[in-house]
Structure 1
């Protein structure tokens, strides 16, 4: 696809970037900046089919700006980014491309906050690459190939068949690979302990229709200190289920673990 970027999408206070991953995939990203230069930034990693264009993602990003600047992006195969989605495997390279660019821009404290697929990516990325100041997993799976819920059975059925991938491509602007994982990556619960010494917050709703609460407790149990677990009553799944009250709680948790906004010298 073309490397051309439509800069009209970015709003005032936003900077749009076209990044390239270590395996050559183009990533469409937008950085939201506060009024003063800062060295702290939070990266939002959407769930499968999610996009930084979503009003839910934008609302979360705006709510976190008191903590630091906020980088949002589309995973490979999603909307304006290149390549094809691998549904959580190669996506760690997308997140690393974002983190590398932020370091080049002078950010020294980088937190990652992932939702669903993005939560699994954030945990694996921090465990493999390191250098992250804090990690938040919201509605994340603890293991692969889970089919214990109707939502996950439908999702697995869709991405595993050509007509399902065609539907996603046409109606959700998501292009999914037809290649199986080989080898299968380590599961989030297997690598959660490697996130330390960065603090890890695991957030899950008790009304999640994709993954039951046991996924959150499995990740939390496998992680080392410092770690926290929030089971949110009545909360559903991922970005769409994050209400303003939870955004404030996330902001406060991150604010306690990251340096406050400061003016660059």
Structure 2
């Protein structure tokens, strides 16, 4: 963690986002004016500073990004709750719209995959990216070592299979075969639930948090290339037809 904080390069890009009566700490990194932007919903226990390397890498590939701390995380005020996480993601989305971004992708990493799928149906986005995600929150808890009876005591929220039925935008599922927390079989099931709108990318060798703590183009370049293809298809579809 000390290495990540020492390498943090975006003090000038920090901002505060209002979410209800709460204030969210965030980092906004802008690439070129017409670049797509990734709205990043991070994983459990993470903070915006951990994403500095990813944001720098995305900028070199001409992708803007915004990562924020959920309520109760890091310097964000308030308390952690399912409702607050979802409200916070919507507030971050509005921040990007206010800044004039037209091509927005929701990127959920681990825990964040449930957050983005919960809010995606109500937002106008070009696509949804699920990195190192899970099938349902209860199955995720089981994979993390909770006893089965304990998982049934949890609220049945962030049920990604169910949310995918309501998601109409293109979906990219990205997972590492080295993820020892959520098995790659879980990602394949999520991809199957996407139907024709989904695409699956399996990368090799990364531990669960590896793509964040040790970001490389091996993991993130295919994500960017997918977003570029989706944005191009949407742009062509929205162009007025000739006479």
Which of 236, 255, 264 matches 2:207? 236
Spell out the pairing of 1:131-142 with structure 2 (5 A cutoff). Answer: 131-142=124-135
Which of 74, 77, 80 matches 2:69? 74
Deviation track 1:89-143 (CA, whole Å, cap 9, x = no partner) reads 531111110001111111111111111011221122213x231111110111111
Spell out the pairing of 1:1-265 with structure 2 (5 A cutoff). Answer: 11=10, 14-22=12-20, 24-34=21-31, 36-38=32-34, 40-54=36-50, 57-65=51-59, 66-86=61-81, 88=82, 90-127=84-121, 129-146=122-139, 147-149=141-143, 151-153=144-146, 184-196=156-168, 198-238=169-209, 239-240=212-213, 242-258=215-231
**Contact between 1:76 and 1:94, CA under 8 Å: does it hold in 2?**
yes
Instruction: Please give the TM-score of this superposition, normalised by the length of structure 1.
Output: 0.73
What SS class does the counterpart of residue 48 from structure 2 fall into? coil
Alpha-carbon RMSD across the aligned residues, in angstroms, is 2.7
How many aligned positions are there?
219
**Contact between 1:152 and 1:210, CA under 8 Å: does it hold in 2?**
no
| Structure 2 gap ranges (5+) | 1-7, 233-243
Deviation track 1:121-180 (CA, whole Å, cap 9, x = no partner) reads 1122213x231111110111111223443x4439xx9xx9xxxxxxxxxxxxxxxxxxx9
**Contact between 1:204 and 1:231, CA under 8 Å: does it hold in 2?**
yes
Gap change, CA 1:242 and 1:11, over 3 Å in 2:
closer
Greater shift after overlay, 113-122 or 63-72? 63-72
Residue 17 (structure 1) shift: 2.2
What SS class does the counterpart of residue 194 from structure 1 fall into? coil
CA distance in 2, matches of 1:202, 1:96: 21
**Contact between 1:194 and 1:223, CA under 8 Å: does it hold in 2?**
no
**Contact between 1:44 and 1:61, CA under 8 Å: does it hold in 2?**
no
Gap change, CA 1:186 and 1:31, over 3 Å in 2:
closer
CA distance in 2, matches of 1:211, 1:89: 24
Instruction: Please give the TM-score of this superposition, normalised by the length of structure 2.
Output: 0.79
